[in-house]
Amino acid sequence: MNVKPHGIHHVTAIASDPQANVNFYTKVLGLRLVKQTVNFDAPNVWHLYYGDEAGRPASILTFFPWPGVTPGREGAGLTTATAFSVPPESIGFWHERAKRLGVLFEAPVVRGDSEVLTLFDNDGMRLELIAAAGDQRSGWDGVGDIPQEMAVRGLHTITLSEHSLDPTASMLTEFLGMQLHGESGDSASFDMGLGGAGATVQVQAGVAERGLQAGGTVHHVAFRAPDLLTMESWRQELLGKGVLVTEIMDRQYFKSIYFREPGGVLFEIATDEPGFDIDEPLLELGRKLKLPPWLEPSREQIENSLPRIEV
Ligand code: ZN
């Protein structure tokens, strides 16, 4: 079976203050906090998941907040823009909202057929809101001052910054089954499946300076595999092509493998199953600290080591 992820699964980034992170993504951007857990590889660090009502794949942005972390720097070897899909005609609403709430932003521009508003979160992370026609996903309507017809619908595009285009483009097309959608100068876009919102990767090449992965930058981007069996066969296929892929990791809400693309960006493939309601009901997602069974015996120690957050 050819490796062929059918979209973006999630993006994981590094933040500084966890409370400021919760406030920005829930109250400003209107995402739902769908899981409070810890970094399974470093359980004294929060792992906060935001998404749509259910935290569906392609809606999820997650953070490792490290209070006092050094600010990072955009540049080659990192994904530098995380774009969300918002309804057509909603850019004016988001522009006004950014001004009113004191969020840093760049004036809206038209890119291709879509209006785009760039925002920066409290750690300077670059976010784009793309007014995308034809995105049938409905946003979460749990935030009082964001009408559902304006709400963020999920991830749209991730942008990789690279020294050179070709090595990364080869991995995306030949190893990961993506289709070249368009190319202009040093940049190219790639579709997974039908492409569009939630299934687009943009590569911006010709970036001279190397990025610094720290506060306000993306740690990795994950692509979607339908289920574990498929992912197991994809792992074998990538290994057969000489890609250094990790073992399959149990992330509780999905299973994952990791590898680096030639320009240095950390990629993950994550299964759509089982999802965030595996350990708490849909209506109660994100209200309390959830731990996987193997960390539950250390709950007291973990709770004492985490900075307090209020949601
Ligand atoms: Zn991940």
The predicted-structure confidence for 242-256, as pLDDT tens digits, reads as follows 999 999 999 999 999
- Give the pairing type, strands 126-131 and 200-204: unpaired
Give the CATH number of the domain where residue 227 resides.
Answer: 3.10.180.10
Average pLDDT on 165-183 reads 97
Dist. CA 202 → ligand 1 center (Å): 19
Dist. CA 148 → ligand 1 center (Å): 28
Q: Which of 9-23, 129-143, 242-256, 282-296 has the weakest average pLDDT?
A: 129-143
Q: Does 101 map to a domain?
A: yes
pLDDT number for residue 180? 98
Q: Does 261 map to a domain?
A: yes
pLDDT number for residue 3? 96
Dist. CA 62 → ligand 1 center (Å): 8
pLDDT number for residue 142? 84
Dist. CA 242 → ligand 1 center (Å): 22
The count of domains in the chain is: 1
Asked whether residue 230 carries a pLDDT value surpassing 80, the answer given is: yes
Q: Does 310 map to a domain?
A: no
Average pLDDT on 129-133 reads 95
Asked whether residue 205 carries a pLDDT value surpassing 80, the answer given is: yes
Q: Does 99 map to a domain?
A: yes
Dist. CA 31 → ligand 1 center (Å): 18
Dist. CA 271 → ligand 1 center (Å): 11
Dist. CA 78 → ligand 1 center (Å): 15
Dist. CA 9 → ligand 1 center (Å): 8
Average pLDDT on 168-184 reads 97
**What average pLDDT does the structure give for the chain?**
97
Range of the domain at 40: 8-305
Dist. CA 100 → ligand 1 center (Å): 33
Q: Are 125 and 80 in contact (CB under 8 A)?
A: no
Q: Which of 131-145, 173-187, 255-269 has the weakest average pLDDT?
A: 131-145
Dist. CA 93 → ligand 1 center (Å): 31
Average pLDDT on 254-267 reads 98
Q: Does 91 map to a domain?
A: yes
Q: Does 3 map to a domain?
A: no
Dist. CA 165 → ligand 1 center (Å): 24
Q: What percent of the chain has pLDDT over 90?
A: 96
Q: Does 214 map to a domain?
A: yes
pLDDT number for residue 143? 83
Dist. CA 268 → ligand 1 center (Å): 6
Q: Does 1 map to a domain?
A: no
Dist. CA 220 → ligand 1 center (Å): 6
**pLDDT tens across 85-104, in order?**
999 999 999 999 999 999 99
Dist. CA 38 → ligand 1 center (Å): 12
Q: What percent of the chain has pLDDT over 70?
A: 100
Dist. CA 282 → ligand 1 center (Å): 21
